[in-house]
Amino acid sequence: MSNEKTLGRLEDLPADYVQGLRDRNLMPLWPALRNALPHERPVAATRPTIWHYADVRPQLMAAGSLAPIEKAERRVLVLCNPGLGIETLRATASIYIGMQLILPGELAPNHRHTPSAIRFAVEGRGGYTVVNGEKLPMEKGDLILTPALNWHEHGHEGSDPVIWLDALDLPIITNIEASYSVEGQRHVIEDPYNTSNLRFARGGVVPYEMLNRQRAPYPLLRFPWCDVKATLDALAHRLPPGGFAHVAYVNPETGRECLPTLGFSALKLPVGQPVELLRQSASMVLHVVSGEGLAVIDGHSLPFSEADTLAAPTHARITLSSSGTEPVYIFVVDDAPLQRKLGIHQVFNERS
Ligand code: 1HN
């Protein structure tokens, strides 16, 4: 038997009473309660959506001539979920995603802000980000962190356009009215050699002086794709039947997620074998690093190929399969770290 009961509606109340409440900045809860707290699972406005790179890239290249970097600061097209209203600049309720273009010789100036961000390199060679004086190269598939309030600027020393994916927790920070930025002077590059990666190049073996130093909140800022891919390939060799390789990007000093609100992971889909992700409460964005296939998100079939990006709402059912002869590699952004901090992250073990 359903325990659904009908709650009183606003229209059931005398109009002069409702107006009297409004005049005093008051509202009755009961007509709004079911909207605020749906039964059993959230009602998500976020729609399963795909942005094809073949559609995004020409528009971004057009922006290359329409929007000089001096005027744009960041030349970005934002991936907007139609279910959330495209002007709200959200891929899911909590995740901002943009595609950024930088042309040879350009500099996207130094700034810092309260939202946390990452870059995931999609195309082109010679791009780099400087974070707090450390120069971080961006080759295809590399993940770069620019944590909240850390100075960062981007440059390009190569000869072809460089494009990357930006992910930020901007919707969360905007919603708590905490979003702002500060402009800075051009960086003096103190560390041209990406030393943080040398420190953590081998698991469990670090420069000795690390023992005498205070823990940095963000000890590792760059995660090269070659390391991630090698780990996925190694894991894929020793899987139980029906399994798939899935790795998390973590802070190497804590073993936990590397940013406070957003989580990052990568997975490899075996050829010719559909994979059902465990249903979980976090919303997520999937970016196809290579390969082609089909995503089914809450019943929506979304065929994908290299560099496409997909959004899935909270609690979504997601099935992924490769359709070509090559395995599929996917980079995932989710808001599980925020949900864990709030004590609401859930993984549902049922397979449908
Ligand atoms: C930002 O700082 C960057 O630094 C890119 O490249 C996109 C979107 C909203 C707010 C800040 C960047 C951004 C952003």
Give the mean pLDDT of 193-205: 91
Res 2 pLDDT > 50: no
Determine whether 54 is exposed, middle or buried from the number of CB atoms within 10 Å of its CB (0-12, 13-18, 19+): exposed
Q: What distance in Å separates the CA atoms of residue 69 and residue 104, rounded to the nearest whole number?
A: 11
Evaluate whether residue 43 is within a structural domain: no
Nearest CA to ligand 1 atom 7: 166
Say yes or no: CB of residue 95 within 6 Å of ligand 1: no
| Beta-bridge partners for 21 | none
Evaluate whether residue 286 is within a structural domain: yes
Percentage of the residues of the chain whose pLDDT score is greater than 70: 98
DSSP code at position 168 = E
Ligand 1, pocket-test mutation among 76, 96, 181, most atoms within 8 A of CB: 76
Say yes or no: CB of residue 166 within 6 Å of ligand 1: yes
Nearest CA to ligand 1 atom 9: 170
Give the mean pLDDT of 105-115: 97
Percentage of the residues of the chain whose pLDDT score is greater than 90: 91
Q: What is the DSSP string of 236-301?
A: HTTPPTT--EEEE-B-TTTSSBSSSS-EEEEEEEPTT--EEPPEESS-EEEEEEE--EEEEETTEE
Res 4 pLDDT > 60: no
Tally the domains of the chain: 1
Res 321 pLDDT > 90: yes
Evaluate whether residue 102 is within a structural domain: yes
Res 234 pLDDT > 70: yes
Note the pLDDT of residue 327: 94
Contact between residue 61 and residue 53 where contact means Cβ atoms under 8 Å apart: no
Res 351 pLDDT > 70: no
CA 197 to chain centre: 22
Evaluate whether residue 87 is within a structural domain: yes
Distance between Cα 312 and ligand 1 center (Å): 22
Determine whether 270 is exposed, middle or buried from the number of CB atoms within 10 Å of its CB (0-12, 13-18, 19+): middle
Res 310 pLDDT > 90: yes
- Strands 134-138 and 127-131 turn out to be antiparallel
Local confidence band at 1 (pLDDT 50, 70, 90 cut-offs): very low
Evaluate whether residue 33 is within a structural domain: no
Say yes or no: CB of residue 170 within 6 Å of ligand 1: yes
For 114-200, strand residue ranges (E) read: 117-123, 127-131, 134-138, 143-146, 152-156, 162-168, 181-183
Say yes or no: CB of residue 148 within 6 Å of ligand 1: no
| CA of 152, closest atom in ligand 1 | 4
> What pTM does this model have?
0.96
Q: Domain range spanning residue 133?
A: 49-351
Q: What is the mean pLDDT of the chain?
A: 95
Say yes or no: CB of residue 168 within 6 Å of ligand 1: yes
Number of CB atoms found within 10 A of residue 239's CB: 12
More confident residue, 57 or 1: 57
Q: What distance in Å separates the CA atoms of residue 257 and residue 259, rounded to the nearest whole number?
A: 6
CATH number of residue 345's parent domain? 2.60.120.10
| CA of 78, closest atom in ligand 1 | 8
Evaluate whether residue 20 is within a structural domain: no
Q: Which amino acid is at 102?
A: I
Number of CB atoms found within 10 A of residue 274's CB: 15
Summarised one tens digit per residue, pLDDT across range 143-163 is: 999 999 999 999 999 999 999
Contact between residue 297 and residue 327 where contact means Cβ atoms under 8 Å apart: no
Res 3 pLDDT > 90: no
- State how far the alpha carbon of 102 is from the alpha carbons of 144, 155, 174, in Å: 16, 8, 26
Res 89 pLDDT > 70: yes
Ligand 1, pocket-test mutation among 97, 166, 170, 179, most atoms within 8 A of CB: 166
Note the pLDDT of residue 5: 67
Say yes or no: CB of residue 147 within 6 Å of ligand 1: no
Give the mean pLDDT of 290-315: 98
Give the mean pLDDT of 280-286: 98
Note the pLDDT of residue 7: 84
Determine whether 23 is exposed, middle or buried from the number of CB atoms within 10 Å of its CB (0-12, 13-18, 19+): exposed
Local confidence band at 349 (pLDDT 50, 70, 90 cut-offs): confident
| CA of 154, closest atom in ligand 1 | 6
Evaluate whether residue 169 is within a structural domain: yes
Distance between Cα 98 and ligand 1 center (Å): 8
Res 246 pLDDT > 90: yes
Res 326 pLDDT > 50: yes
Res 165 pLDDT > 80: yes
Say yes or no: CB of residue 106 within 6 Å of ligand 1: no
Res 336 pLDDT > 70: yes
Tally the residues of the chain.
Answer: 352
Ligand 1, pocket-test mutation among 73, 74, 183, most atoms within 8 A of CB: 74
| Beta-bridge partners for 263 | 334
Q: What distance in Å separates the CA atoms of residue 75 and residue 49, rounded to the nearest whole number?
A: 23
